[in-house]
Structure 1
Amino acid sequence: MRATGPENSSGAAGTLDAPAIRMSGIEKSFDGVAVLRGVDFEVARGEVHALAGGNGAGKSTLMKILQGVYTRDAGTIEIDGRPVEIRSIQDARAAGIGMVFQEFSLVPSLTVAQNIFLGAEPLGRGRLVDDRAAVRQASVVFEEMGVQVDPRAVVGNLSTAYWQLTEIAKALARDAKVLVMDEPTASLARHESEALFELIGRLTAHGLAIVYISHRMEEVYRIADRITVLRDGNRLLTRPLTGITPAQIVEGIVGRTLGNEMAYRRREGAGPGEVLLEARSLNAPPKVRDVSFTLRAGEVIGLAGLMGSGRTELARALFGIDKVTSGSVSVRGRTVDLSSPAKAIEAGLALIPEDRREQGLVLEHSVADNLLLPLLGEVGRGPLLDGRRGRELAGDLIRRFAVKVAHPNRPVRLLSGGNQQKVVLAKWMGTDPDVLILDEPTAGVDIGTKSEIVEMIRGLAADGKGVIVISSEYPELLAVSDRVLIVRDGTVVAEHPRDAIADEEFLELAVQGVTR
């Protein structure tokens, strides 16, 4: 672990008198519901300060106030000891604050370099935008990050991992004094995360202050100096990482002591039943090549592989998003047409996508509207919708999946990341699918919600569903999977029963293609 910073939230950073950020008595409410209640928070120069809390605790709201996305209802903000008014993103940038949001803010039709310098483009002769200069400058940023990304590539053609890297580069290119990172490794492969950690060390060595929001405890202990935990809109504690245990942090986040929720448990009973889904020599160019596997009723299959291995593309092909050029898929022994998502739903499949905000939700619509989108056939009454039936269905799903929302008509964009994920899960489970495909279901959610999602997956299998889980989070993958398929270069190269996987290291070596 790195050398620790100041021991309490009122101390100074080294020989400097003022912290890089001081937020005092911050309050914020939405629709009359208090999200932040008099929160104090500060970060020293050259410090990595972890910010933790359950979904809905208020951490993202606190940081969006610092970034100018939201305006505070009460409280004060100081940068380098000077009071500042941050009422817009422009105000925050002028104060030297940069943020890498958990939800992306990129323009898919633009190149990587154009996204990085959007609004601050380098100018050439005649004050025209100099795209070549932007490419050169973006290349320097990526070189410092220790990652390889083509600045000329169109963002919409890249995977989620590269979107995240572009977001990080975009913030670093603005010469920020304070950098807020909200789950920056959620979509990164392990070697990419390592490069990010090394970069963070170099940045803090030069005095940059970093706020690091993450639910991954090993990351927090590796790079952070102090941690602040929020619960229900209040600051619960601020301590050096040397003075608190992971168990104490988790208990602070969830308000209770977690037991062995993330350990694999063999389900009692008859075990896997009939073959629910069978893929035979499935091809969906350019990523999916000659994939064959079976999934039984009451079984959870995990798909493990590096970013770009073809895991997500396999899920998209099974759900009718990407075109299958050859091979076949059968459900309950009957060959099915998966030429569109509508056909896949009709065949009894459902997909929880990798990017819940872009692919799983209509952000400006209400929670209820999002929940009912796949169920319009059930709430229709002629050409109209049965409002009463819709309210009953939405209310039942909110209760079943413990979605924390003040009112079903509240816009889903205002929910925390974990509760948004629950809405995506709930809306598809409302269709009662036979086969559920989950792509990175625990990405960007707190440990309490992770344990809830793990229990949901176990419950679905116990009810006879077939579940396919794609995850870069090996603890979660090993907690739920009865078998793990290793995906590499678009095909399944190995299959391991859960009993044959000793630990995460075994799985990592299998994914990398290394035998021990």
Structure 2
Amino acid sequence: MTQALTFLYISHRLGEIHEVCRTVTVLRDARRIVTAPVGELPTRALIEAMTGGPAGPHRAPAPAAPPRPGAAGPVAVRVDRLSGSYFHDVSLTLAAGEAVGLAGLAGSGSHQLGAALAGLHRPTGGRIEILGRPLRTGSVPAALAAGVGCLPRDRHTEGLVPQLSVAENITMPVSGRLGPGGLIRPSARDALARRAIDELEITTEGPAQPVTALSGGNQQKVAMARALATDPRVLVLIDPTAGVDVRSRRALLDVALRARAEGRAVLLVSDQPEDLRACDRVLVMAGGFVTAAYEAG
């Protein structure tokens, strides 16, 4: 005898919604926007309901990756035989002006390897060099001082301080530069935050708004602005588009492409192929090892 089962499936992945669901409800800004059979809401209509604006093309062609600097460009990151609880004997290089994707499912070690470059995970062996200098591993302040900015995997526990405002979150890594004697000048803090709000197109009432009042996509942009606040030469992005809508996904990936065009080295860790399309190279991890490498295209 077959037992009937009802399930609630929560996702931003629109293809899966159409594949497994019969009815879909769209929530935006804590309000129910629409409920309808999935057959009556094609992808474009779903995007418009989720974002509140025109959808544009759902799958834009992958931008062509510019030529890598290769031997002519300086090596910004050198990882030599790095090992830890989740990865083993990993060696790689990352050049200035290059975007390298690191692909891997949960348990592959890819997230922990990215976190190790940012000081969020302490390896047990091996060596990391940033801009030609050894990095003291397992230390976020050391990584920041070395020129590494990071968008961590979980914005709620590692990327943002929910009790603080948009401006306080964005400027936290550079608070010591915002006034004399360690005192923060609110005008300097808010000016820096407004520039980031404009550049990343963060939808907010202003710098003083609590970060918890923003949508998930805008919270992720605030976390990205925080990663960029120190003007890092190396940018580590771990699952940068997790839990955001289609429009925010495009905006966040555009920020990564701009960072590469500005000469920063970008490591983009993701299990989403769409996130990796514009990378110059993609390394694949499984079981803690780098198992494959692919050039763009």
| Same fold per superposition (TM over 0.5) | yes
- Please state if 1:344 is matched with 2:143: yes
Which residue does 1:446 correspond to in 2?
A: 245
Q: Structure 2 vs 1, CA of residues 288 and 406 (structure 1 numbering), >3 Å: closer, same or farther?
A: same
Structure 2 counterpart of 1:220, one-letter code:
I
Q: Which among 149, 171, 186 is matched to residue 372 of structure 1?
A: 171
* 1:320–1:340 Cα contact (<8 Å) kept: yes
Match runs of 1:453-492 below 5 Å: 453-477=252-276, 479-492=277-290
Tell me how far apart the structure 2 counterparts of residues 458 and 448 of structure 1 sit (CA, whole Å): 16
Structure 2 counterpart of 1:321, one-letter code:
L
Which residue does 2:11 correspond to in 1?
A: 214
Which residue does 1:304 correspond to in 2?
A: 103
Tell me how far apart the structure 2 counterparts of residues 340 and 234 of structure 1 sit (CA, whole Å): 41
Aligned-residue offset at 1:231: 5.8
* 2:65–2:296 Cα contact (<8 Å) kept: no
Q: Structure 2 vs 1, CA of residues 328 and 218 (structure 1 numbering), >3 Å: closer, same or farther?
A: same
Aligned-residue offset at 1:482: 1.5
Which residue does 1:403 correspond to in 2?
A: 202
Which residue does 1:384 correspond to in 2?
A: 183
Q: Which structure would you say has the larger RCO, counting Cα contacts within 8 Å and 6 or more residues apart?
A: 2
Q: Provide Cα deviations, 1:249-276, integer angstroms capped at 9, x if missing partner.
A: 2244342242376432224577563221
Structure 1 counterpart of 2:90, one-letter code:
V
SS in 2 for 1:288: coil
Structure 1 counterpart of 2:17, one-letter code:
V
Q: Structure 2 vs 1, CA of residues 270 and 486 (structure 1 numbering), >3 Å: closer, same or farther?
A: closer
Tell me how far apart the structure 2 counterparts of residues 372 and 244 of structure 1 sit (CA, whole Å): 41
Structure 2 counterpart of 1:351, one-letter code:
C
Which residue does 1:434 correspond to in 2?
A: 233
- Please state if 1:223 is matched with 2:20: yes
Q: Provide Cα deviations, 1:104-138, integer angstroms capped at 9, x if missing partner.
A: xxxxxxxxxxxxxxxxxxxxxxxxxxxxxxxxxxx
Structure 1 counterpart of 2:23, one-letter code:
R
Q: Structure 2 vs 1, CA of residues 410 and 283 (structure 1 numbering), >3 Å: closer, same or farther?
A: same
Q: Which among 305, 314, 332 is matched to residue 131 of structure 2?
A: 332
Which residue does 1:363 correspond to in 2?
A: 162
SS in 1 for 2:223: helix
Tell me how far apart the structure 1 counterparts of residues 33 and 153 of structure 2 sit (CA, whole Å): 32
* 1:230–1:253 Cα contact (<8 Å) kept: yes
* 1:310–1:491 Cα contact (<8 Å) kept: yes
Tell me how far apart the structure 1 counterparts of residues 296 and 115 of structure 2 sit (CA, whole Å): 25
- Please state if 1:282 is matched with 2:282: no
Q: Provide Cα deviations, 1:295-342, integer angstroms capped at 9, x if missing partner.
A: 111111111112111112112221223323332222233333334111
Q: What is the TM-score with the length of structure 2 in the denominator?
A: 0.89
Tell me how far apart the structure 2 counterparts of residues 474 and 270 of structure 1 sit (CA, whole Å): 20
* 2:217–2:244 Cα contact (<8 Å) kept: yes
Tell me how far apart the structure 2 counterparts of residues 324 and 226 of structure 1 sit (CA, whole Å): 46
Q: Structure 2 vs 1, CA of residues 439 and 233 (structure 1 numbering), >3 Å: closer, same or farther?
A: closer
Tell me how far apart the structure 2 counterparts of residues 259 and 277 of structure 1 sit (CA, whole Å): 35
- Please state if 1:249 is matched with 2:49: no
Tell me how far apart the structure 2 counterparts of residues 495 and 227 of structure 1 sit (CA, whole Å): 38
Tell me how far apart the structure 1 counterparts of residues 98 and 137 of structure 2 sit (CA, whole Å): 22
Tell me how far apart the structure 2 counterparts of residues 482 and 269 of structure 1 sit (CA, whole Å): 8
Which residue does 1:240 correspond to in 2?
A: 37
Aligned-residue offset at 1:228: 3.8
Aligned-residue offset at 1:235: 6.0
Q: Which runs of 5+ in 1 are unaligned?
A: 1-201, 500-516
* 2:65–2:278 Cα contact (<8 Å) kept: no
SS in 1 for 2:293: strand
Aligned-residue offset at 1:433: 0.6
Tell me how far apart the structure 1 counterparts of residues 179 and 48 of structure 2 sit (CA, whole Å): 45
Aligned-residue offset at 1:405: 1.5
Match runs of 1:256-271 below 5 Å: 256-259=54-57, 262-268=60-66
Q: Provide Cα deviations, 1:9-56, integer angstroms capped at 9, x if missing partner.
A: xxxxxxxxxxxxxxxxxxxxxxxxxxxxxxxxxxxxxxxxxxxxxxxx
Q: Structure 2 vs 1, CA of residues 282 and 406 (structure 1 numbering), >3 Å: closer, same or farther?
A: same
Aligned-residue offset at 1:219: 1.3
Q: Percent identity?
A: 35
Q: Provide Cα deviations, 1:43-98, integer angstroms capped at 9, x if missing partner.
A: xxxxxxxxxxxxxxxxxxxxxxxxxxxxxxxxxxxxxxxxxxxxxxxxxxxxxxxx
Q: Structure 2 vs 1, CA of residues 251 and 410 (structure 1 numbering), >3 Å: closer, same or farther?
A: closer
| Aligned-residue RMSD, C-alpha | 2.3
* 2:29–2:215 Cα contact (<8 Å) kept: no
Tell me how far apart the structure 1 counterparts of residues 68 and 114 of structure 2 sit (CA, whole Å): 28
Tell me how far apart the structure 1 counterparts of residues 58 and 212 of structure 2 sit (CA, whole Å): 32
Q: Structure 2 vs 1, CA of residues 243 and 473 (structure 1 numbering), >3 Å: closer, same or farther?
A: same
* 1:262–1:454 Cα contact (<8 Å) kept: no
Q: Structure 2 vs 1, CA of residues 493 and 235 (structure 1 numbering), >3 Å: closer, same or farther?
A: closer
